[in-house]
Amino acid sequence: MSDLTDRAISIRKGEELDDQKVLEFLKASIPGLSGEIEIKQYPSGFSNLTYSVKVGDREMVLRRPPFGKKAKTAHDMGREFKVLSALKPYFPYCPQPLVYTGDEEVMGCPFYVMERIPGIILRRDLPPEMELNAKEARTLSENLIKVQHQLHSVDFVKAGLADFGKPEGYVKRQVEGWSSRYRDARTPDAPDFEKVMQWLHDKMPGESGLIGIIHNDFKFDNAVLDPAIPTEIIGILDWEMATLGDPLMDLGSSLGYWVEKDDPPTMQAIRQMPTHLDGMLTRKEQFDLYCELMGVKTDNFDFYYCFGLFRLAVIAQQIYYRFYHGQTRDQRFGMLMVPIRELEAASLRVIEMSDL
């Protein structure tokens, strides 16, 4: 198999960094660095910006907030660095964090640098040179759930993350918080989602009794696969939304991204990862496997999946809001109304079929 490892490309216009300032900072902060610097950008993602930084033969990754005006509580680089530093000894899939600075002298914002985990990252479709048969696809989708369960099973007290969130009342806060955020970000061309929000409010299952470190964006394009054995996961990236909360809500958020082979064409059109391949677990199979691993029983699959769809719609709507009001010119954002409408339709289908 040829080299399928994820690669950075040229930097988007307006998102360039000052190479020399970055190099000086890194050489002063990380012992043993020598050589010239090369900075490229990873193309995906709608939130924090991710750059490939190579100094000599040392490969690293730099994360910084997006350019322009943003909410003060969003894009907290220090928090992301803290969770990686605390989790790494207990959850080996974390990248090794190297240095963080809140000093805005280098690039006008806080940022951090971590080791690069070379590997395959799955986007919408498999790379042309890569194949997964049905058995391999099943193994990979099982491994994704197993790694998520592993994260949720970390002893967060021992890791020093007992104050990393407020697990009490987490489900209620999530439903109410995301509903409020949707209403705040709604544009005149967006669906109202009122029926979905009311159903989620009415069907809240309450506290599951589970508490764990949750990733909040756990999906294939944040997982790094072993190039030698592509069914094996060797890294989990993008920790900006991690917190302490109810693991079943994290699972629900992941299910929101999972488009199955038998989903309608409108859902296939907004698929972001190759979750439709023959052999991939269905959403319900993932949920059942997770519950088995976690040792819990619950009949609330519909609630958690519907929440995942709604939460994804809110994230897309918040990004679209920035485009609609001229706060960003990134044309990718202008196309988000299509998935937002489909996510409402999918949520309503879940509600219509649900026994809850």
Out of 84, 115, 146, pick the residue that ends a domain: 115
Q: What is the three-class DSSP state of 160? A: coil
Tell me how many domains the chain contains: 2
pLDDT in tens, 165-198: 999 999 999 999 999 999 999 999 999 999 999 9
- Judge if 99 and 200 occupy the same domain: no
The CA distances from residue 172 to 166, 214, 249, in Å, are 12, 16, 11
Which amino acid is residue 71, in one-letter code?
A
Start-to-end CA distance of the chain, whole Å, equals: 47
pLDDT, position 327:
84
Q: What is the CATH number of the domain that holds 41?
A: 3.30.200.20
Asked whether residue 148 falls in the same domain as residue 190, the answer is yes
pLDDT value of residue 11: 81
Q: Which candidate, 198, 197, 306, places its Cα nearest to that of 248?
A: 306
Secondary structure (DSSP) of 252-278:
HHHHTT---TTS-HHHHTT--SSTTST
- Please report whether residue 346 resides in a domain: yes
Q: Are residues 85 and 154 in the same domain?
A: no
- pLDDT mean over 37-60: 86
Picking from 53, 84, 115, the residue at the C-terminal end of a domain is: 115
Contact 110, 77 (CB under 8 A): yes
The alpha-carbon radius of gyration of the chain (Å, integer) is 20
Is residue 154 a contact partner of residue 90, using CB atoms and an 8 Å limit?
yes
User: Tens digit of pLDDT for each residue in 221-237?
Assistant: 999 999 999 999 999 99
What are residue 2's phi and psi, to 5 degrees? -70, 175
Residues 220 and 82 in one domain: no
Residue at 123 is within a domain: no
* Domain assignment present for 1: no
pLDDT at 52: 93
Q: Quick one: pLDDT at residue 1?
A: 37
pLDDT at residue 202 tops 60: yes
* Pair (152, 98) in one structural domain: no
Percent of the chain with pLDDT over 70: 95
What average pLDDT does the segment 307-334 reach? 91
* Mean pLDDT confidence for 203-209: 88
| Same domain membership, residue 158 and residue 92 | no
Domain boundary among 115, 144, 165: 115
Tokens of 41: 């950008």
Q: What is the pLDDT of residues 128-158, one digit of tens each?
A: 889 999 999 999 999 999 999 999 999 999 9
Q: Is residue 172 part of a domain?
A: yes
Claim to verify: residue 163 and residue 281 sit in the same structural domain: yes
Average pLDDT, the chain: 92
Q: Are residues 159 and 54 in the same domain?
A: no
235 falls within a domain: yes
More confident residue, 328 or 274: 274
Provide the CA 258 distance to its chain's centre, in angstroms: 13
DSSP conformational letter for 299: S
**Tell me, what's the pLDDT at 356?**
85
Residues 84-137: pLDDT tens digits?
Answer: 999 999 999 999 999 999 988 898 899 999 999 999 999 999 988 899 999 999
307 pLDDT above the threshold of 50: yes
Residue type, 29: S
The whole-number pLDDT of residue 6 equals 66
34: containing domain: 19-115
Give one DSSP letter per residue of 26-88, joined into a string. HHHHSTT--S-EEEEE----SSSEEEEEEETTEEEEEEEPPSS---TTSS-HHHHHHHHHHHT
Residue 11 placed within a domain? no
* Strand pairing report for 111-115 and 212-214: unpaired
- Two structure tokens written together for 274: 């190759």
Three-state secondary-structure class, residue 337: helix
This prediction's pTM: 0.91
162 and 97 inside one domain: no
CA distances from 290 to 149, 151, 226, 284, 309 (A): 7, 12, 22, 10, 19
Residue at 210 is within a domain: yes
**pLDDT at 71 > cutoff 50:** no
pLDDT higher than threshold 80 for residue 291: yes
CATH number of domain containing 164: 3.90.1200.10
**pLDDT, position 74:** 52
Could you report the per-residue pLDDT of 242-271, keeping only the tens digit for each? 999 999 999 999 999 999 999 999 999 999
Residues 163 and 108 in one domain: no
pLDDT at 48 > cutoff 90: no
Task: Note whether residue 268 is domain-resident.
Answer: yes
Say if residues 28 and 103 touch (Cβ distance below 8 Å). Answer: no
Residues 6 or more apart in contact with residue 105 via CB below 8 angstroms: 21
> Are residues 51 and 154 both part of a single domain?
no
Residues 146 and 83 in one domain: no
Give the closest residue to 144 by CA, choosing from 257, 58, 60, 45: 257
Residue 152 near residue 291 (C-beta atoms within 8 A): no
Vertex 174 angle, CA 173 and 177, to 5°: 75
